[in-house]
């Protein structure tokens, strides 16, 4: 991008200049706001009075205004009819009603300077100034002169470096620049350097109709990245040069910065090892990184302390709102430091001689704070493509922590299983490494702020963002260690502990030696695994007496718990049946319990022990690593097979080993395979003391195991889901775990009411009403309003778009009932903002508990193959191509949509594997054109709000539909399952009236479910889909597309256009339409012999009729033709109007 500048007039404006200025110029809101200076103290009568006002203004302004007069010159020098630019900024968007009044409002911002760490020129905390000016004056600013630089949001001056003047988007107490001192925020700011394209972001902002100030930062357009090599290898768990695919994985999953996928895909390795003063780096070649800032003025200033009852809650909400602005509103990654209300932004500047800079003001409606849908910052920072263990402070869930070891090789994971509710971490750090403690003041009992073990990865050192907590003092009753720094988000507490031990903060004995008193006592009746060996020997001596002798020592006052303890010891000792019988007789003789109660108690204790052993993963004694390699491999395979038979956990998917996490399949890498094997098999290494040490599975054994026939010990799996589903025979599967009949794994925590085996009419009505009235009716399906959708879909003959949408909603729950492929679902709409993407987000939350990631439609078959391999191998139940903006003709996609099994090519290899196609296909776009072979593979769900600006619609049943769906997901899933169960209860009769070729089974099953539910219109808009696609290839439509390729202001005439400025001859365009070949339009006087339009009168009449109805919705507005005349010749001029609110 390059700059836009405006020529300055040399003469200073006077009052007479203002009076003579063109009306359009003064009416421009920016010009008017910038010239408010003249009326701050009343209308001046002469130049001298104007100068006095300027002087007063400059003296009261804490910023050194060089010459505000020159700022006014640029306004007056603009084109008289419009202002495409203002100072250095391009003016975009459309000014809404009241816009000029808003930018005349005052706003208070903090201003100061920042030059670098410990630089004497830095503005100190408490010295930041808080001038109050109108938004127009903040934008207009002033020109530079001498040593004073130009300032103002519309200016982008040259500078030697990026440091210097900066601004904070609100006011504070006593000029302090820290979060807790901030009082009122005038605007929200985002710093974007994630690889997002500025043009795309500008387009989004314009479509949203928001007021935004935009400027590129000093280092805009830089290329190349440097990654710490050791950090990359550690994160990827490799000990070799990483591949480019692994580097992209690192950028997606581990890098402290968040980058857009489009940027990551363009990154390539330049140098594997480059020695720098900061260590060895991996150097990457990257696409140019556009770096820019977005400032959104608030419609009303935000008073931070009024946001919540406590200040911390207020700051948390501010963080979540800024995160939501970036993610939910704009859909971009950003620098999360912007969530700090005291975050400073350097004002715009660029290097001398650079032309890679840009500034703009997008006119629109000021941002309303309450309208921003928040997103938890912690969720955003940790929600990468892998499980980032975001709840580092809570180990009570089922998530497995990452593998961690002590320096001697002991497993911290095994240690944690028994120490999680006993370890006093804060006491350890205070006692053994007090130099690592940082005092912030106000720490609670058992809580300490510490240095972060990963501080070397932070962007800056110091601070009190890291805290350690004793188990006894933690709300979760588990010890924890966490860091709030962005680079540590998602890092598990065991990783902090592992790193601290590696750096030698304290000896690992502190974790195991209970005599050091850093471990709470074990619960009564529970063996302490950390108990010293000598004490254990003494206790063993006490057990030498026979169990019968001990039983004889019981009496009538002995409690049931004491008897159960004796029975438990006997079971653990492995007594035989004879000893068991004598022991039971002795207990009956000595206590008040009879024979049957003792038998029952024995069974109860034995069952509890079996359950505990299963939870702990108790396993056979294992194998020595000195055994022959084939023996170790056989042992490992048998251990996995045995564990899989008892509790299925390890599967074969796409010819590789896979596990299930959070209801999704995950192909395992080497480290994950090793971890899974280590959970079920014990490998031991002899020590010099004659004992053995438990170790992790040897790597060569792991490689040998998984290089063999996986089907010998892994279970076949076709998919994983987190929602109950119907098996092929119509059985409703609600029990978690692996289901061998369907080869599907269900892992669900959903709470929902029971689905009736035979749903009643009331059940069916409630189920349909819940989905149609609460979820679908707010979307203009079939170009209908909410009342029309509810009436026709619930009480009438049905609506094709609604019924087809219901087919899509139900499909994930009944996919196993369909033998064969399923068609694509096209959500077609005439204009952006209609809500298709939001609708898919909502229905995917019903099916999967989360919004399905949207995909861009790949351009070629190679890219399509890569995309399909990726999404199908992930086992996604919905594959969603969103906002398609080009015609689609892909044989690869067509093939995938008609085959039950897809031949997927492994990325980076020539190998292909087969993967089941179990997904629902979804496409959205504005009047999208598909090839004929794809059209016959689609059903249409048409949406049309029948208004120019559909995104401005109001009056929705649920303001946050996705939030409502998430909160009520249990009821919505019940509704889906009830509708399907109704068909099962009626005998699973397939419908035969409406059949889609190549999808006969899907047509019968899904159509049967909808027919049994009384929903009509299934595929009733099929002809509309065909005709809409064919219409795009019609000659009239081709002419329309050709016309909008011309610039706005082009004059179209039927005959010779040479005498017209910007003239184009329609006759000439038609006759040479396609590289000299004519475009034939019936009834437009085309002569097939001469291949010309030889009757200009008829051509003029027909084109005139065409022009009267010509409308093309593109580029956020509408193109149209305006009829006129010049010199007796009819002229049609191409015009464009930005879309406005209805």
pLDDT band at 710 (very low <50, low <70, confident <90, very high): very high
Q: Is 993 helix (H, G, I), strand (E, B) or coil?
A: coil
Bridge partners for 881 per DSSP: 855, 923
For the chain, the structural domain boundaries read 15-220+291-371, 225-285, 388-462+470-479+491-516, 543-616, 623-717, 761-1028, 1034-1138
Extended strands (E) in 1001-1082: 1051-1053, 1063-1065
Q: Once rounded to an integer, what is the mean pLDDT over residues 577-585?
A: 82
Residue 358 has pLDDT above 90, yes or no: yes
pLDDT of residue 35: 36
How many CA atoms lie within 13 Å of 2's alpha carbon, on the beta-carbon side? 4
Task: Give the H/E segment covering residue 964.
Answer: helix 961-967
CA distances, 1103 to each of 44, 172, 625, 1031, 1100 (Å): 57, 64, 87, 18, 5
pLDDT band at 457 (very low <50, low <70, confident <90, very high): confident
Comparison of pLDDT for 69 and 1083, the residue scoring more: 1083
What is the C-alpha separation between 59 and 791, in angstroms, rounded?
68
Work out whether the CA dihedral 1043, 1046, 1049, 1052 comes out positive or negative.
negative
**Contact by Cβ (8 Å): 1008, 990:** yes
pLDDT of residue 810: 97
Range scoring the smallest mean pLDDT among 513-517, 716-720, 1136-1140: 1136-1140
CA distances, 592 to each of 397, 554, 558 (Å): 41, 10, 8
What is the C-alpha separation between 888 and 222, in angstroms, rounded?
34
pLDDT of residue 1000: 93
**Contact by Cβ (8 Å): 254, 308:** no
Range scoring the smallest mean pLDDT among 402-406, 815-819, 1004-1008: 402-406
> What phi-psi label fits residue 1128: left (phi over 0), alpha (psi between -120 and 50 degrees) or beta?
left
pLDDT of residue 1129: 84
Comparison of pLDDT for 911 and 279, the residue scoring more: 279
Q: Give the range with max mean pLDDT: 39-48, 519-528, 1046-1055.
A: 1046-1055
Residue 1021 has pLDDT above 80, yes or no: yes
pLDDT band at 1033 (very low <50, low <70, confident <90, very high): low
Q: Which pTM does this prediction carry?
A: 0.44
Residue 558 has pLDDT above 80, yes or no: yes
pLDDT band at 404 (very low <50, low <70, confident <90, very high): confident
pLDDT band at 907 (very low <50, low <70, confident <90, very high): low
**In degrees rounded to 5, what are phi and psi of residue 370?**
-70, -20
pLDDT of residue 53: 34
Pairing mode of beta strands 279-285, 106-108: unpaired
pLDDT of residue 346: 92
Q: Name the nearest CA neighbour of 1093 among 1045, 1128, 1104, 1102.
A: 1102
pLDDT of residue 616: 44
Q: Once rounded to an integer, what is the mean pLDDT over residues 858-881?
A: 83
pLDDT of residue 339: 92
Residue 395 has pLDDT above 70, yes or no: no
**Contact by Cβ (8 Å): 184, 108:** yes
pLDDT of residue 220: 92
Summary mean pLDDT of the chain? 82
What is the C-alpha separation between 562 and 549, in angstroms, rounded?
15
Measure the CA dihedral 493/498/500/502, to 10°.
Answer: -170
Comparison of pLDDT for 762 and 1030, the residue scoring more: 762
Task: Give the H/E segment covering residue 25.
Answer: helix 23-27
Q: Once rounded to an integer, what is the mean pLDDT over residues 321-342?
A: 91
Q: Once rounded to an integer, what is the mean pLDDT over residues 1009-1031?
A: 81
Residue 716 has pLDDT above 80, yes or no: yes
CATH 3.40.50.300 applies to domain 761-1028: yes
**In degrees rounded to 5, what are phi and psi of residue 685?**
-120, 130
Range scoring the smallest mean pLDDT among 95-99, 238-242, 463-467, 526-530: 526-530
Comparison of pLDDT for 994 and 1116, the residue scoring more: 994
Residue 170 has pLDDT above 70, yes or no: yes
Helix/strand number for the chain, H first, E second: 39, 47
Residue 209 has pLDDT above 90, yes or no: yes
Range scoring the smallest mean pLDDT among 22-26, 93-97, 174-178: 22-26
CA distances, 1004 to each of 62, 64, 920, 1001, 1012 (Å): 75, 77, 17, 5, 12
What is the C-alpha separation between 897 and 881, in angstroms, rounded?
13
How many CA atoms lie within 13 Å of 1119's alpha carbon, on the beta-carbon side? 19
Report pLDDT digits (tens) over 894-904. Answer: 889 998 888 87
Report pLDDT digits (tens) over 232-247. Answer: 998 888 889 999 888 9
Residue 1012 has pLDDT above 90, yes or no: yes
What is the C-alpha separation between 398 and 396, in angstroms, rounded?
7
Residue 57 has pLDDT above 80, yes or no: no
Comparison of pLDDT for 842 and 876, the residue scoring more: 842
Report pLDDT digits (tens) over 215-231. Answer: 999 999 889 999 999 88
Q: Name the nearest CA neighbour of 872 among 903, 917, 906, 905.
A: 917
pLDDT band at 59 (very low <50, low <70, confident <90, very high): very low
Q: Once rounded to an integer, what is the mean pLDDT over residues 1043-1061?
A: 87
**Contact by Cβ (8 Å): 744, 816:** yes
Report pLDDT digits (tens) over 782-792. Answer: 989 988 999 99
Range scoring the smallest mean pLDDT among 365-374, 377-386, 500-509: 377-386
Q: pLDDT > 90: what percent of the chain?
A: 38
What is the C-alpha separation between 377 and 198, in angstroms, rounded?
23
Q: Once rounded to an integer, what is the mean pLDDT over residues 674-691?
A: 82
What is the C-alpha separation between 1090 and 838, in angstroms, rounded?
53
For the beta carbon of residue 1056, count every other beta carbon within 10 angstroms.
12
**Contact by Cβ (8 Å): 484, 440:** no
Q: Name the nearest CA neighbour of 459 among 256, 643, 760.
A: 256
**Contact by Cβ (8 Å): 741, 733:** no
Bridge partners for 357 per DSSP: none
pLDDT of residue 1114: 67
Classify residue 45 by its DSSP letter: S
Bridge partners for 1113 per DSSP: 1118
Residue 549 has pLDDT above 90, yes or no: no
Report pLDDT digits (tens) over 1084-1106. Answer: 888 888 888 888 888 888 898 88
pLDDT of residue 21: 33
Residue 387 has pLDDT above 80, yes or no: no
pLDDT band at 610 (very low <50, low <70, confident <90, very high): low
What is the C-alpha separation between 839 and 826, in angstroms, rounded?
12
Pairing mode of beta strands 824-829, 920-926: parallel
pLDDT of residue 539: 57
What is the C-alpha separation between 154 and 192, in angstroms, rounded?
19
Report pLDDT digits (tens) over 459-491. Answer: 667 777 788 999 888 766 789 998 877 777 767
For the beta carbon of residue 318, count every other beta carbon within 10 angstroms.
24
Pairing mode of beta strands 824-829, 1086-1087: unpaired
pLDDT band at 23 (very low <50, low <70, confident <90, very high): very low
pLDDT band at 1028 (very low <50, low <70, confident <90, very high): low
pLDDT band at 514 (very low <50, low <70, confident <90, very high): confident
- Cβ neighbours for 562, distance < 8 A, ≥ 6 positions apart: 554
What is the C-alpha separation between 320 and 380, in angstroms, rounded?
9
């Amino acid at each position: 991008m390059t700059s836009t500048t405006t020529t300055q007039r040399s003469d200073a404006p006077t009052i007479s200049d203002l009076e003579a200025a063109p009306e359009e110029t003064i009416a421009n809101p920016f010009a008017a706001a910038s010239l408010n200076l003249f009326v701050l103290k009343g209308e001046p009568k002469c130049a001298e009075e104007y100068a006095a006002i300027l002087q007063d203004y400059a003296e009261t302004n804490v910023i050194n205004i060089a010459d505000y007069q020159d700022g006014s010159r640029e306004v007056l020098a603009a084109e008289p009819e419009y202002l495409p630019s203002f100072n250095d900024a391009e003016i975009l968007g459309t000014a809404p009603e009241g816009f000029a009044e808003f930018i005349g409002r005052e706003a208070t911002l903090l201003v100061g300077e920042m030059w670098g760490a410990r630089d004497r020129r830095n503005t100190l905390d408490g010295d930041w100034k808080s001038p109050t000016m109108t938004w127009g004056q903040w934008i207009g600013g002033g020109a530079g002169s001498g040593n004073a630089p130009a300032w103002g949001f519309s200016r982008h001056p040259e500078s030697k470096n990026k440091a210097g003047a900066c601004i904070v988007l609100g006011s504070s107490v006593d000029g302090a620049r820290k979060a807790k001192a901030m009082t009122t925020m005038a605007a929200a700011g985002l710093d974007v350097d994630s690889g997002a394209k500025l043009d795309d972001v500008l387009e989004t902002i314009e479509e949203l109709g928001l007021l935004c100030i935009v400027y590129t930062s000093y280092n805009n357009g830089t290329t190349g990245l440097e990654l710490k090599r050791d950090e990359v290898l550690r994160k990827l768990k490799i000990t070799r040069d990483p591949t480019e695919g692994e580097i992209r994985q690192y950028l997606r999953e581990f890098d402290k910065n968040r980058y857009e996928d489009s940027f990551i895909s363009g990154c390539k390795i330049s140098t594997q090892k480059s020695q720098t003063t900061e260590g060895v780096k991996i150097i990457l070649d990257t696409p140019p990184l556009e770096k820019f800032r977005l400032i959104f003025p608030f419609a009303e200033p935000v008073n931070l302390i009024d946001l919540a009852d406590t200040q911390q809650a207020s700051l948390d909400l501010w963080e979540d709102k800024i995160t939501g602005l970036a993610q939910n509103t704009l859909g971009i990654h950003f620098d999360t430091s912007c969530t700090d209300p005291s975050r400073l932004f350097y004002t715009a500047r660029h290097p001398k001689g650079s032309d890679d800079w840009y500034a703009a003001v997008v006119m629109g409606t000021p941002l309303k704070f309450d309208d921003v849908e928040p997103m938890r910052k912690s969720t955003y920072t940790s929600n990468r493509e892998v499980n980032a263990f975001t709840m580092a402070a809570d180990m009570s869930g089922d998530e497995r922590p990452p593998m961690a070891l002590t320096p001697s090789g002991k497993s911290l994971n095994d240690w944690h299983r028994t120490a999680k509710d006993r370890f006093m971490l804060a006491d350890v750090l205070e006692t053994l490494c007090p130099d690592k403690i940082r005092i912030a003041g106000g720490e609670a009992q058992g809580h300490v702020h510490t240095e972060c073990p990963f501080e070397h990865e932070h962007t800056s050192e110091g601070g009190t963002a890291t805290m350690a907590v004793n188990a006894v003092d933690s709300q979760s009753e588990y010890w924890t260690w966490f860091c709030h720094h962005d680079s540590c988000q998602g890092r598990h507490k065991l990783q902090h502990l592992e790193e601290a031990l590696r750096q030698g903060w304290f000896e690992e004995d502190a974790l195991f030696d209970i005599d050091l008193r850093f471990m709470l006592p074990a619960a009564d009746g529970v063996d302490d695994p950390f108990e010293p060996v000598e004490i254990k020997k003494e206790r063993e001596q006490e057990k030498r007496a026979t169990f019968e002798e001990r039983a004889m020592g019981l009496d009538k006052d002995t409690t049931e718990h004491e008897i159960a303890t004796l029975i438990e010891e006997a079971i653990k000792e492995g007594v035989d049946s004879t000893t068991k019988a004598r022991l039971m007789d002795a207990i009956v003789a000595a206590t008040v319990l009879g024979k049957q109660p003792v038998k029952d108690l024995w069974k109860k204790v034995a069952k509890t022990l079996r359950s505990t052993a299963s939870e702990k993963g108790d396993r056979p004694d294992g194998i020595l690593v000195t055994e022959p390699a084939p023996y170790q491999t056989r042992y490992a395979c048998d251990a996995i097979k045995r564990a899989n038979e008892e509790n299925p956990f390890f599967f074969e998917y796409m010819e590789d080993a896979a596990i299930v996490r959070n209801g999704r399949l995950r192909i395992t890498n080497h480290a994950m395979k090793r971890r899974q094997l280590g959970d079920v098999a014990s490998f031991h290494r002899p020590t010099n003391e004659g004992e053995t040490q438990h170790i992790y599975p040897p790597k060569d054994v792991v490689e040998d195991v998984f290089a063999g026939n996986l089907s010998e010990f892994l279970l076949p799996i076709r998919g994983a889901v987190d929602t109950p589903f119907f098996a092929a025979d119509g059985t409703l599967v609600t029990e978690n775990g692996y289901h061998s009949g369907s080869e599907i794994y269900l892992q669900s925590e959903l709470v929902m009411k029971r689905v009736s085996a035979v749903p009643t009419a009331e059940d069916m009505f409630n189920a349909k009403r819940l989905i149609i009235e609460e979820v679908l009716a707010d979307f203009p399906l079939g170009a209908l309003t909410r009342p029309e959708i509810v009436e026709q879909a619930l009480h009438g003959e049905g609506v094709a778009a609604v019924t087809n949408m219901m087919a899509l909603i139900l499909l994930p729950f009944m996919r196993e009932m369909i033998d064969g492929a399923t068609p694509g679902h096209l959500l077609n709409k005439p204009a952006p903002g209609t809500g298709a993407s939001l609708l898919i987000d909502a229905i995917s939350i019903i099916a999967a508990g989360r919004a399905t990631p949207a995909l861009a439609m790949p351009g070629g078959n190679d890219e399509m193959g890569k995309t399909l391999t990726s999404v199908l191998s992930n086992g996604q139940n919905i594959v969603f191509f969103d906002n398609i903006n080009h015609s689609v003709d892909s044989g690869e996609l067509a093939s995938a949509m008609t085959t039950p099994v897809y031949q997927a090519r492994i990325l980076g290899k020539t190998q292909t594997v087969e993967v089941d196609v179990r997904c629902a296909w979804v496409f959205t776009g504005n009047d999208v054109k598909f090839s004929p072979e794809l059209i016959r593979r689609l059903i249409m769900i048409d949406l049309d709000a029948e208004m120019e600006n559909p995104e401005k619609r109001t009056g929705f049943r649920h303001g946050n539909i996705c939030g409502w769906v998430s909160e009520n997901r249990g009821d919505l899933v019940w509704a889906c399952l009830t509708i399907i169960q109704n068909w099962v209860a009626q005998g699973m009769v397939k419908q035969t009236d409406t059949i889609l070729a190549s999808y006969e089974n899907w047509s019968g099953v899904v159509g049967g479910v909808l027919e049994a539910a009384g929903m009509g219109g299934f595929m009733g808009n099929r002809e509309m889909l065909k005709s809409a696609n064919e219409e795009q290839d019609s000659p009239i439509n081709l002419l329309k597309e050709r016309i909008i390729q011309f610039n706005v202001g082009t004059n179209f005439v039927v005959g010779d256009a040479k005498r017209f400025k910007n003239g184009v001859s329609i006759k000439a365009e038609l006759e040479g339409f396609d590289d000299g070949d004519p475009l034939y339009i019936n009834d437009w006087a085309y002569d097939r012999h001469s291949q010309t339009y030889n009757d200009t009168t008829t051509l003029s009449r027909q084109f005139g009729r065409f022009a009267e109805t010509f409308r093309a919705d593109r580029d956020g507005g509408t193109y149209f033709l305006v009829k006129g005349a010049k010199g007796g010749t009819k002229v049609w001029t191409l015009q464009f109007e930005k879309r406005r609110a209805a």
